[in-house]
Amino acid sequence: MATTNGVKECVPPQLDNLLKLDPYLEPFQGEIKRRYNVFKSILKQLETEEKGLDTFTSAYKHFGIHVDPKTNAINIKEWAPAARAMYIRGDFNNWQERQYPFTRDEWGVWRLTLPPLSDGTPAIKHGQIIKLLIEKPDGQLEDRLCPWSRYVQRAEKSNTYHGVFYNPPADKIYKFKHPQPKKPERLRIYEAHVGISSWKGEVATYENFRVNVLPRVVRQGYNTIQLMAVMEHAYYASFGYQVTSFFAASSRFGTPEELKELIDEAHKLGLTVLLDLVHSHGCKNTVDGINMFDGTNGCFFHDGPRGYHDLWDSRCFNYMQREVMRFLLSNIRYWLEEFKFDGFRFDGVSSMLYHSHGIGHAFSGTYNEYFGLATDTESFNYLQLANYVSQTLYPESITIAEEVSGMPTLCRPIAEGGAGFDYRLAMAIPDVWIKLLKEKQDEDWNVGDITWTLINRRWSEKNIAYSESHDQALVGDKTIAHWLFDSDIYTHMSVLAERTPRVERGLALHKMIRLLTYALGGEGWLNFEGNEFGHPEWLDFPRAGNNDSYHYARRLFYLPEDDTLRYKYLNAWDQAMNACEEKYKWLSATNTFLSRRHEGDKVVVFERGDHGLLFIFNFHTNKSFADYRIGCGRCGKYKVVLNSDSKSFDGLGRTSDKQVFLTEDIKWDERPFSFNVYTPCRSVLVLALTGDVN
C-alpha cells in the first residue's frame, strides 16, 4: 500500500507485470493506479453497504415482480426516485388506476405486496398483461413496463410492447440437464441471430435454431455460438441494439424456457454459448423501455447532453449511480445464472470508453488519447466491475469487448490495472478487406500492408479475428462474397454454368481472405452465419423502407446442401479450416514467424504453432511459381494439410494434396531451413511437419 500526499493508494498487485509487458505504459501508471483505486473503493463500498457482491448482484431475485413460493403473495419492488406515486394495474384488476398503491422508502425504492386470492392462488395469473402506473413529478399518470420484466410481448395491432406476468407452472419451467463446458482454450465463434436463421420469410424461433442450426454449427467445426438480439428490443430492425427490456429474452422468438432448452442443447453438443450484451446504451422508448422511467431525463441515464448518444439516437447509462450499477451488474448475473450463458460479447465498448463515443475520433494510437481527459473512466470502472462479477461468480465465463480504439490494458487482468476482458474484436481487419475490394485492383494489393493489419495488435492482449461480421452483411454494405462475385452470385454459381473469370477469382479469394485472417489475425476466429458459404443475399430487416418485407431477413442454409451449386465448396472449405485449427491449434500459439511478404510475387509465408504449421499464400493474379523456395524454422518432412486449389474446394487441382517436401540445410528468409514448392496463383497451401530428419 503506497501513500501519496498522505492518502493511502491501492496499487494493482500485478502492475509490475503490466509494465514489463509494455514499458510505454510507465508514464501513465499513475492513471492506471487511480482507476484501480476507484474500482477497489467501489468493491469496498458494496461489501460494507450492500452486504457484498453476491448479495448486490442478486438484485434480480427481489427487484421487479416475484411470487412468494410459500404464500403465493406477489411482491413488487421498483426504483423510481423522482416518481410521486406508483401503482400496478392490468388484466387482473380490469385496469383500475389507483387500486394498488406502492409505498416509497428514503432511497426512492417502491414496494407493494399483493396477497393471494381467497383460493390461495396468486392475484395475477400467468400470462396476464400488467403495467406499472407512474405518477410523474408533474402529476401526470403514465403506464410503464417493469424494468426487470422477464417477459414482454408486442401488443396486438400495435408497435409497442406490454408487460406479461411470467409465472409458469413448475412442470413448465425448463430444467437444465447438461453441464456447461469448460472455457475453450481457442474460440471458433459462430455469430448468429435466431430470428433470421431460417430460409422462410418469417421470424424464426428458438426451437428452429435448436433443431436445425445447432447441428449445422457443430458440423462446421465451431465450438462457440454468439447469439445476437436476445435481449428484448421493440424495433426488430435495430438488430437487437436498441434494447427496451434488459431482463427479457425476446418473445418474438419464443419463451424463456425455449431459450433455455436451446442453450442446454448447445451444451450437450459441446458448444459454448455467448450472449451479445448491450450495456453501452439503452433505447429512447418510454412506453416500453426504461427511458424516463420515473418521469425525469435521469433515473437510469445521465441527465443532460451526457445522457444522449446522438449517432445511435439512444440514452447513455449513469454507470456510477448505485441503483444503475445494481441493475446492470444484476443483469449480467441473471443471464449467466438463469439461462446459463457462458459469457458475453460486450457491445459498443469504444462508445462507452470515450466522452465523444468515438464519433469523429480517428485514433492515432498515442497513449495520451487513452489516459487523458477524453476517456470516460466511469465507464472503464464499470467494465472492470462487470468483468469482476463474471470472473468471480463464474470463473469459466468469457468476455469479449467490441472495441476499435485499441485502448491498452482493456484485455489485461484487473489485478494488473486492466479492464479484465478475455478478448477484443479485431475490428480494423474487415475494414481493410472491404476497402481493398472496393477501391483497389488485385494487382495493387500490398501484401505488406495487409499482413501488418493482421498482426498489428497489442502483445499479450487477445484478439478475435474476422474478415466480416454482421456489420458487413447489412443492407447498404456488401459482404466479401458480394464484392467478389457481384451479379454472378445469382447467375453463375451452378456447377453447370460457365465458370466465369469473376467466379474463378471469387472462389479463390474468398477462401484465401478467410484463411489468412483466421491464421494470422488473432487468438480467436468469428464468422457470421451464412458467410461461411458466401451467402448470396445481404441482410435487411422488415421496416418501412422495404414495405416490411422479410425477404432479406433470412439465411438460405439449403444452398450449400445443393450439390449443383458452388456454395457447397466454400462451405467445405470452412469446415476444413476449422478442422485444421482443431487439429493443429494455431489460435493458441504465440510463436508466429512471418518470413516472407514479397510485393512483386504477392507471396506471403508464415509459420504458426507447435506443429511446424507453414502457410504459403500466393495472391498474384496470374503468376504461378515453380520451385519457389520457402524458409522454415524446423527441419523435417512436410505434408499438405490444406490446399485451396484442391478440386474438393472447387480449385483447379494444380497441386497434389499427396505431395511431401523434405527440408534442406539452406537458410532462407531468415529461417535456418528451406525447400522448394510449386505455388499456383491465387491459392494457399498449408503444410505441417510430419517428422524430423536426422
**End position of a domain, from candidates 527, 552, 586:** 586
- Whether residues 421 and 405 fall in one domain: yes
Q: Is 402 a catalytic residue?
A: yes
**Same domain membership, residue 491 and residue 436:** yes
Lookup result for grid cell 514479397: 598
Q: Is 202 part of the annotated catalytic residue set? A: no
pLDDT in tens, 333-361: 999 999 999 999 999 999 999 999 988 77
Find residue 83's DSSP bridge partners: none
Please give the Cα distance from 295 to 439 (Å, whole number): 50
pLDDT of residue 8: 59
Residue 257 within any structural domain of the chain:
yes
86 with 29, same domain: the answer is: no
- Output the pLDDT for position 462: 97
Q: Compute how many other C-beta atoms are within 10 angstroms of the C-beta atom of residue 440.
A: 11
In this prediction, residue 427 has a pLDDT band, given cuts at 50, 70 and 90, of very high
Let me know if residue 322 belongs to a domain.
no
Please say which residue of 569, 586, 603 terminates a domain: 586
Are 351 and 436 found together in one domain? yes
Catalytic residue among 402, 468, 529, 650: 402
Among 532, 567, 586, the domain boundary falls at: 586
Do 510 and 484 lie in one domain? The reply is: yes
In the chain, % of residues over pLDDT 90: 93
pLDDT of residue 478: 85
264 shares its domain with 374: yes
- Grid cell for residue 29: 501508471
**pLDDT-based confidence at 691, cuts 50/70/90?**
low
Note the pLDDT of residue 611.
Answer: 83
Residue 692 has pLDDT above 90, yes or no: no
Report whether pLDDT(474) > 90.
no
What is the domain-level CATH number for residue 236?
Answer: 3.20.20.80
Write down the pLDDT at residue 536: 93
CATH number at residue 134: 2.60.40.10
pLDDT digits (tens, 9 = 90+) for 630-650: 999 999 999 999 999 999 999
In the predicted model, what is the mean pLDDT of residues 229-257? 97
Q: Are residues 209 and 281 in the same domain?
A: yes
In a domain, 32, yes or no: yes
Q: Which domain does 93 fall in, by range?
A: 59-172
Question: What's the rounded mean pLDDT across residues 37-46?
Answer: 97
What mean pLDDT is predicted for residues 592-599? Answer: 97
Given a cut of 60, whether residue 7 has pLDDT beyond it is: no
Weakest-pLDDT range from 27-31, 331-335, 543-547, 684-688: 543-547
pLDDT in tens, 193-205: 999 999 999 999 9
CB of 322 closer than 8 Å to CB of 341: no
* φ, ψ (nearest 5 deg) of residue 357: 60, 15
Tens of pLDDT, residue by residue over 361-391, are 778 778 999 999 999 999 999 999 999 999 9
Percent over 70 (pLDDT), the chain: 98
Residue 143, Cβ density class (10 Å: 0-12 exposed, 13-18 middle, ≥19 buried): buried
- CB burial string 9-34: b at 16+ within 10 A, e below: ebbbebbeebbebbeebeebbebbbb
Average pLDDT of the chain to the nearest whole number = 95
pLDDT score for 301: 98
**Predicted pLDDT at 388:** 98
The pTM of the full predicted model, rounded to 2 decimals, is 0.96
Indicate if 167 and 94 belong to the same structural domain. yes
Quick one: which of 347, 177, 187 has its CA closest to 275? 347
Q: What is the pLDDT of residue 4?
A: 42
Total count of domains within the chain: 3
Residue 3 pLDDT exceeds 60: no
Question: Is residue 255 in a domain?
Answer: yes
Annotated catalytic residue, options 135, 261, 342, 347: 347
- What does the pLDDT read at residue 693? 40
